[in-house]
A and B are shown apart, each in its own frame.
Chain A
Amino acid sequence: MSKKSFRQAINEALRQEMRRDPTVVLMGEDIAGGQGGTSGVEDAWGGVLGVTKGLYTEFGPERVLDTPISEAAYIGAAAGAAATGLRPVAELMFVDFIGSCLDQVLNQAAKFRYMFGGKARTPMVIRAMYGAGFNAAAQHSQSLYPLFTHIPGLKVVIPSSPYEAKGLLIEAIRDDDPVIFLENKVMYDEEEDVPDESYTIPFGEANITREGDDVTIVAIGRMVGMANEAADRLEKQGITCTVIDPRTTSPLDEQTILDCVAETGRLIVVDESSPRCNMACDISALVAEQAFHTLKAPIKRVVPPHTPVPFSTPLEKLYMPSAEKIEAAVKSVMSQTTREVA
């Protein structure tokens, strides 16, 4: 066990799975990095994220494939390779680029198992960066997990820390269905203790990171850290919160959310994706439908406005959810309590 960054945790998961299983291959733009470049150094870069650094050197050009700038070609190739026996991990770089290859995911990879009567497996992983807060502007800052969550046949994973990232990525690689694995680009340098050994975290089990009596906060990805920070501050003011990290939006651990709301009677959902038809809507609907009788106050969503992500630093800050906004939302539902529940 040692401290590892989010980036190192993902690199280690890829490396250990490639050592364990020769059918695991990587594909993506610049993932070998510097190969054939002017520096003369192979594997200088490890992709624009620096996540695959060192893998080309260890596993060679047959298993670490630099692809042309054609998402439709290599995401499609990954789906085909998965259906015919490999376990590809394709790096889409920015999740915003899904626009160029959505058919390969939406109509092909996600549908193979169903359309072939359960006889086809598609064990592929698409890794991509998501999220605002990096001044990457409107075309490189989106949080598109609701888009994938909407598609039956896909599994959608959004890790909230280095420990979570390693265990969930190994689970994703071993899974026999297409998995969308989304990494928040602001989190790559965050560090925590991560075991050196391989381990898996199952999909569809939420992680409870704080336990409290007053409010349940469900937060996704990077928002989990903000929710924990808000919960720590609120505890000093006498308000205790349960914080839930769903880990995967598909499958979604509905039971844990419903159980916690039944205990606290209040729900806040923190989601940095655009506010219409996002996870905050989905989880709010779940609770309104199945746990309305346990609610003491209206549900509140902490979400950005329905606009493209602004490039300007002050505007982007205003756009994003934050610990302060979560804290204010919790206080607001505490003051809005409309009824006592028996």
Chain B
Amino acid sequence: MSKTPIALTMPKFGLAMTEGKLASWTVQVGQAVKQGDELADIETSKITSGYESPAAGTLRKQIGQAGETLPVGALIGVLADADVSDADIEAFITQFQAEQAPQEGADEASARASGPQTVQVGDYSLNVQESGSGTGLPVLLIHGFGGDLSNWQLTQEPLAAHRRVISFDLPGHGASSKSVQDGSLTALAASVAELLKTLDIPKAHIVGHSLGGGVALSLLRDQPEKVASLTLIAPAGVGKTVNADFLSGFAEADRNRAMQTELEKLVHNKALIGRKMVDAVMRARRLDGARDALRTITAACFEQDKQKDALLPVLENAKVPVQVFWGQEDAILSVEAASSLPDHVATHLYPDVGHLPQMEKATEVNKLIESFLEKAEA
């Protein structure tokens, strides 16, 4: 509980976000909330996401109005105990806004300056997003099939408090060049190893989602010296099957409406998939070569609904800490595969979560990754 008022400010989902729209309040003034309760829905150019309460308390004031667009860091509301006086709340708001005012321009400038960069890695030209610095070992985030670095928009910034965190578009994806060689997990893992070399990172914590989890496992198999720890989110290469209808539907969708249907298969809460997210995915998919790259990967990694790579032995022999996250409503790679994981793997399963735990349960997943990384380095 909180005697001093707590400022609720426009969150920053991803490095490119400079402003967000307060789509709606889900909690009324005077209502008591627990930490982690959803207070409001925030809409950005890419995603609509819940704003979770940073603490327990009572929502005392809504400053942002539903429908209003505000810069990142702007005060949208105040949380405090029910017995803090209205006068104290008003004084807090006045003081917060006075302190906040001059910084806004600077924040915006730094957000713009740190957008993704093109990095030449052997034959590939990769779109790479860097953030953070510090004494911890760097983290490399590997997205899944048909995704891009924006899949980490709720992950990258929170992990970057004490260390360098890198996300990138895999070959064939996002704004990276479209050749994927033979499209195998081995070839993609080799490109990841090359990227680490180019960025002068001898060893990193690897976080892989879906196909990116299979890439991470292949990297551990082929170049174990580069891997400090492994975090796998609904990874490929562990189970035997895949949702083949999704693979082709997601790769081939040529209309936003069709893409929306495919993207909704990724999540349990369908409201997470907004028009702008669909549009962003379609923009990447329309680039020449993007669909061919996905077709090549599909042919190399899957035989209809069977996964070609059996990487469970890599996990069984792993000499580094490994943790796995999986949503129990995953409609792409079934959570059943999690039951065959070796005992030394820390496993976190979430009910009412689909194929994107890092977005659907961002706060919890981020906290667990953070403490896992610290433990792995201790």
A195-B67 contact in complex given A1-B175, A202-B255, C-beta closer than 8 Å:
no
Contact B288 A199 (CB under 8 A): yes
B286 touches A167 (CB 8 A): yes
Known contacts A1-B175, A195-B175; decide if A201 and B275 are in contact (CB<8 Å).
no
Taking a contact as CB atoms under 8 Å apart, the answer to whether B256 and A199 are in contact is no
- Cα distance, A235 to B255, chains bound together (Å): 28
Interface size on A, residues (CB 8 A): 15
Smallest CB separation, B169 vs chain A (Å): 12
Interface residues on chain B, number (Cβ under 8 Å): 12
Q: Please tell me if B225 contacts chain A, counting CB pairs below 8 Å.
A: no
When C-beta atoms are compared, the residue in chain A nearest to B177 turns out to be A197
CB atoms of B288 and A198 under 8 A apart: yes
Can you name the residue of chain B whose Cβ is closest to the Cβ of A20? B288
Residue A284 CB within 8 A of the other chain? no
* A81 at interface, CB cutoff 8 A: no
Docked pose: A1 CA to B174 CA in angstroms: 11
**Contact in complex: A208, B275 (CB < 8 Å):** yes
CB pair A199 B287 closer than 8 Å: yes
List A contacts of B288 (CB < 8 A): 197-200
Known contacts A1-B175, A202-B255, A205-B256; is-contact A235 B287 (Cβ 8 Å): no
Q: How far is the CA of A208 from the CA of B275 in the complex (A)?
A: 8
> How near does chain B come to A259, taking the closest CB pair, in angstroms?
9
Chain A residues in 8 Å Cβ range of B3? none
What 1/0 mask marks residues of chain A from 152 to 173 whose CB sits below 8 Å from any chain B CB? 0000000000000001000000
Shortest distance from the beta carbon of A30 to any chain B beta carbon, whole Å? 31
Q: What CA separation (Å) do A211 and B67 show in the bound complex?
A: 12
Q: Which residues of B contact A208 (CB under 8 A)?
A: 256, 275
Within 8 A of B (CB), among A180-213: 195, 197-202, 205, 207-208, 211
**Contact across chains for B287 and A195 when beta carbons are under 8 A apart:** yes
The CA-CA distance from A124 to B67 in the complex, in Å, is: 45
Question: From residue A12, how far is it (CB to closest CB) to chain B in Å?
Answer: 13
Q: B348 at the A/B interface (Cβ < 8 Å)?
A: no
A202 near B175: Cβ-Cβ < 8 Å: no
Query: Are A240 and B286 within 8 A (Cβ)?
Result: no
B178: nearest chain-A partner, CB-CB:
A197
Q: Least Cβ distance of A99 to chain B in Å?
A: 36
Given A198-B288, A200-B286, A205 and B255 touching (CB < 8 A)?
A: yes
The answer to whether B67 touches A240, judged by C-beta atoms less than 8 angstroms apart, is yes
- Chain A nearest CB: distance from B98 CB in Å? 25
From B67, B254, B286, A235 is in contact (CB under 8 Å) with B67
In the complex, A202→B252 CA distance in Å? 13
Of the listed residues A1, A199, A205, A207, the one surrounded by the most CB atoms of chain B closer than 10 A to its CB is A199
Are B67 and A197 in contact, CB atoms less than 8 angstroms apart? no
Bound: A185/B106 CA distance, A? 37
Whether the Cβ atoms of B275 and A211 lie closer than 8 Å is: yes
Q: With a CB–CB cut-off of 8 A, which chain B residues contact A235?
A: 67
Task: Tell me whether B283 and A195 are in contact (CB under 8 A).
Answer: yes
Q: Which residue of A lies closest to B127 (CB)?
A: A1
Q: How far is the CA of A143 from the CA of B281 in the complex (A)?
A: 33
Contact residues of B between 229 and 261, Cβ < 8 Å to A = 254-256
* CA–CA, A115 and B255, complex, Å: 31
Chain A residues near B275: list those with CB within 8 A: 208, 211
Contact yes or no, B287 A198, CB < 8 A: yes
- CB proximity of B136 to chain A, nearest CB, Å: 31
Residue of A nearest to B175 (CB): A1
- In the complex, which residues of chain A have a beta carbon less than 8 angstroms from the beta carbon of B287? 195, 197-199
From residue 255 to 274 of chain B, which have CB atoms closer than 8 A to chain A?
Answer: 255-256
With a CB–CB cut-off of 8 A, which chain B residues contact A200?
Answer: 286, 288
CA distance A82 to B288 in the complex (A): 24
Measured CB to CB, the nearest residue on chain B to A253 is: B255
What is the CB-to-nearest-CB distance from A254 to chain B, in angstroms, rounded to a whole number?
13
B 271-307 binary contact with A (CB < 8 Å = 1; else 0): 0000100000001001111000000000000000000
Q: Which residues of B contact A199 (CB under 8 A)?
A: 283, 286-288
In the complex, which residue of chain B has the Cβ closest to the Cβ of A204? B255
Closest B residue, CB atoms, query A198? B288
**Could you say which residues of chain A place their CB within 8 Å of the CB of B286?**
167, 199-201
Q: How far is the CA of A197 from the CA of B255 in the complex (A)?
A: 20
| Contacting residues, chain A, for B178 (C-beta < 8 A) | 197
CB distance from A236 to the nearest CB of B (A): 8
Which chain B positions have C-beta within 8 A of A211?
A: 275
User: Smallest distance from the beta carbon of A142 to chain B beta carbons, Å?
Assistant: 32
Measured between C-beta atoms, what is the minimum distance from B377 to chain A in Å?
Answer: 36
Chain B residues positioned under 8 Å from A201 (CB to CB): 286
Min CB distance, B137 to chain A, in Å? 31
Complex Cα gap A201–B285 (Å): 10
Q: Which residue of A lies closest to B282 (CB)?
A: A201
Complex Cα distance, B363 from A6, in Å, reads 41
Closest to B21 in A: A235
Once the chains are docked, how many angstroms separate the CA of A201 from the CA of B286?
7
CB-nearest residue of chain B relative to A240?
Answer: B67
CB of B322, distance to nearest CB on chain A (Å): 36
Best-buried of B275, B286, B287 by chain A (most CB within 10 Å): B286
Chain A residues within 8 Å of B, Cβ to Cβ: 1, 167, 195, 197-202, 205, 207-208, 211, 235, 240
- Top 4 A-B residue pairs of the complex, sorted by shortest distance between their CB atoms: A199-B286, A198-B288, A199-B287, A197-B287
Given contacts A197-B288, A205-B256, 14 further A-B contacts (CB under 8 A): A1-B175, A195-B283, A195-B287, A197-B287, A198-B287, A198-B288, A199-B287, A200-B286, A200-B288, A201-B286, A205-B255, A208-B275, A211-B275, A240-B67
Chain A to chain B contacts (Cβ below 8 Å), 11 pairs:
A197-B178, A197-B287, A197-B288, A197-B289, A198-B287, A198-B288, A199-B286, A200-B288, A208-B275, A211-B275, A235-B67
